Amino acid sequence: MRWVGFSEACPEIAGLAEERFRNDEVVLVGTLRKDGSPRISPNEPDFVQGHLLVSMMWRSKKALDLLRDSRCVVHSAPITRMNPGGDVKLYGRAVDIQDPALRKAFREEMRRRIDWAPDEPRYHLFSIDVESAGYAVFGAGSHALTWTAREGLRRLELE
């Protein structure tokens, strides 16, 4: 489901993810290579018009992965071994965005955020449709939250 739908269905994890992604300004995107092996790459996320968007260099390996097989994971970038902000993981599919209005809005948001935007049409833009999500905190008070559309939100104690 598109980001806005996920935010309504699971505000607990969506709120944590959005705050973390906006503050860190980088996530790790996991894709599947042509041979089925995993690839993980850093990426800058943006939230625009109810979408969680990631852009990629034109014809980059990770973009080609997603054009071939849209399954992906988006993971918060850990900052230390204990990662006090917790781990956020979103599992789903990347949707290739060609809509000119959404691409324009994305470029405006990116320019606002970092005073730069890629030139059209020489970049890939994907919206992440979330199918399941997780959040885990380690150390004192360790716990995890998991969500699927079928099972809803569940809390797991890790101690």
CA distance 116 to 110: 6
**What is the DSSP secondary structure assignment for residue 82, as one 8-state letter?**
S
For 159, residues 6+ apart whose C-beta sits below 8 A from its C-beta are: 142
- Residue carrying the six token digits 């800058």: 44
Task: Give one DSSP letter per residue of 109-130, joined into a string.
Answer: HHHHHHS--PPTTSEEEEEEEE
CA distance 67 to 50: 22
Structural domain total, the chain: 1
Residue 62 has pLDDT above 70, yes or no: yes
Express as a percent the part of the chain with pLDDT over 90.
90
Residue 17 CB burial class (10 angstroms; 0-12, 13-18, ≥19): buried
Q: Whats the size of the chain, residue-wise?
A: 159
What amino acid is encoded at 55 in this protein?
Answer: S
User: Residues 96-101: what's their mean pLDDT?
Assistant: 98
Model confidence, pTM = 0.96
User: Residues 75-96: what's their mean pLDDT?
Assistant: 93
Name which residue leads in pLDDT, 87 or 158: 87
For residue 79, the model assigns a pLDDT of: 85
Q: What is the rounded average pLDDT for all residues in the chain?
A: 96
Give the CATH number of the domain where residue 84 resides. Answer: 2.30.110.10
Whether cis (ω within 30° of 0) applies to the bond prior to 42 is: no
Q: How many CB atoms lie within 10 A of CB 62?
A: 23
User: Residues 16-20: what's their mean pLDDT?
Assistant: 96
Q: What is the pLDDT of residues 66-85, one digit of tens each?
A: 999 999 999 999 988 888 88
Q: Which tokens go with 71? A: 């399954």
Express as a percent the part of the chain with pLDDT over 70.
99
For residue 80, the model assigns a pLDDT of: 87
Residue 34 CB burial class (10 angstroms; 0-12, 13-18, ≥19): exposed
Residue 159 has pLDDT above 80, yes or no: no
For residue 157, the model assigns a pLDDT of: 86
| Three-state SS letters, 131-151 | EEEEEEECCCCCEEEEEECCC
Q: Which tokens go with 107? A: 């470029």
Domain that holds residue 135: 3-157
User: Residues 134-150: what's their mean pLDDT?
Assistant: 92
